[in-house]
Structure 1
Amino acid sequence: MNRKKLQKLAESLCKTAKHFNRYEVECLINLFNNLEVEPSDRHAAVGLDRNSFRNILHDTFGMTDDMIMDRDCFEVYDLNSDGYISREEMFHMLKNSLLKQPSEEDPDEGIKDLVEITLKKMDYDHDGKLSYVDFEKAVRDENLLLEAFGPCLPDMKCRMAFEVQAFQNTAEL
């Protein structure tokens, strides 16, 4: 892609990409162009197919969990794909992400308490479940809530290494 075409595309995308400046958009476009591959099916469009994307998540970020690699952050937690994270889904995710502590108290009671605390913090419309709108507002206000039910993004060390490499490679173009 020539420089003029890149700048025009970046300018166009900057109008809707609220969290990226023009330089970052140009870097992302260059990065995508470097990652795109020829599809195995001659009728498919050139681009980044699902398998290539999964390979990048695995090779670059060390992600191996199929459920996480197949979904975005909200969908990782919305186990039944009904558009909401219910109390039961929260309980399931928290139960799997917490270490078991030997105590006289029923461990499920502690998890139920955490579910209630989480709902108080994230359920903005007070309907007893998290919609995508609730989830998005909560994680925008407090980034740590993004992984409240267990990790769904690569760790910081992998993300930083990727950013350094991506911006270095695109600056060379």
Structure 2
Amino acid sequence: MLIKSVSLFLTSGRRASAGIAARSRASGGAPDTAAPSAQAGGSAGKKKKSSKGQQRMGDEGKVSPRIVDMLKKRTHFSKLEIEALARVYRKLVANAANSPVGSSAVGSPAPAVIPTPTGTTTECCCGLDRVVFRELLHNTFDLVTEEVLMDRIFCAFDRYNDGVIRLEEWVCGLSVFLRGTTEERTAFCFLVYDLNNDGFLTRDEMFHLLRNCLIKHPGDEDPDEGVKDLVELALRKLDTDKDGKVSFDDFQSAVLQEPLLLEAFGQCLPAENACLTFISTLQG
């Protein structure tokens, strides 16, 4: 199985240490923070052309020093951790290409050299597609959530909006996943919940996210009424300016006052123990 072989790859370098929790908090560089906006989905798909000096990832999974340096500045990872994440990424992509669990990304590979908005490029026959990414979320990060949220988490990682997760997206996304600040995680969760990427959480979006959270009983005449009540309760908690929808500022303000509201519309971040386990494999 695809994820089983990757798990073996990860655990082969694992070593027990009482200092795992302390090491997991060590930051390798400055965070890459940005509040979600209405342009999060649309403009992300535009790729900036690189005029010269294309940087590529070698056949052995080594990343060029320029890309490592760029990722170190944009994430909370060290140089060695970025190189380890690149090896895991290459393993996932290679196994997916040889796996009977096919995907559109594997069937229709992207160009070999991928320009990115930062002006660098990465080389890969394809990226991580939705199928592989969902298996990773389930098996590595113990993330069990609704299908709509799984798809939105993928979209939050897929910053270039091209249907696969590239190396740069993989490292930056995991930086928030594993070591993100409160601000970064708040921005990530809001982006996941903002189903149409317009910068607001509306009643319809909240209803769609919450409708599968309630247990429906056979005797219920209209189970959706309970969902509507939850939506109104959420609005009272989150809509600080009382305009009938939740902006990022509304959401951020509510989360700062009550951190439990961070995942008010469903789990979209991994549990801490899963993060520590994954990080230990990078440091082993």
State the TM bucket, normalised to the shorter chain. Answer: 0.5 to 0.7
- Aligned in 2, Cα 1:155/1:117: closer, same or farther, shift over 3 Å? same
Q: How far apart in 2 are the matches of 1:142 and 1:51?
A: 37
1:135 aligns with 2:251: yes
User: Within the alignment, does 1:158 sit opposite 2:158 as a pair?
Assistant: no
CA contact (8 A) 1:36 1:46 kept: no
Q: Shift in Å at residue 125 of structure 1?
A: 1.4
> How far apart, CA to CA, are the structure 1 residues paired with 2:253 and 2:123?
31
Q: CA RMSD in A?
A: 3.6
Unaligned runs of 5+ in 2: 1-27, 34-73, 91-109, 116-120, 157-187
TM-score (norm 1): 0.66
Q: Does residue 28 of the first structure (1) align with residue 77 of the second (2)?
A: yes
Matching residue within 201, 208, 213 for 1:97: 213
Indicate which of 120, 134, 141 corresponds to 1:61.
Answer: 141
- The question of whether the paired residues in 2 share the 8 Å contact of 1:36 and 1:47 is answered with no
Deviation at 1:75? 2.2
Q: Provide the rounded CA distance (Å) in 2 between the counterparts of 1:149 and 1:67.
A: 12
Change in CA separation of 1:87 and 1:29 when aligned onto 2, cut-off 3 Å: same
Shift of the alpha carbon at 1:164? 3.8
- The more displaced of 117-126 and 139-148 is 139-148
Aligned counterpart in structure 1 of residue 112 of structure 2, from 31, 38, 41: 41
Identical columns (%): 40
User: C-alpha displacement at 1:58, in angstroms?
Assistant: 4.4
Evaluate the alpha carbon distance shift between residue 47 and residue 148 of structure 1 in structure 2; reply closer, same or farther with a 3 A threshold.
farther
TM-superposed CA distance for 1:157, in Å, is 3.6
More helix by share: 1
CA contact (8 A) 2:152 2:195 kept: no
Provide closer, same or farther for how the CA distance between residues 164 and 53 of structure 1 changes in structure 2, counting only shifts above 3 A.
Answer: farther
1:35-82 CA deviation, whole Å, 9 max, x = no partner?
23689724642499x935976774332558233222232122111221
Mapped partners of 2:206, 2:114: distance in 1: 42
Paired residues in the alignment total 150
Q: Distance in 1 between matches of 2:243 and 2:276?
A: 37
Q: Which has the higher contact order (CA 8 A, sep 6+)?
A: 2
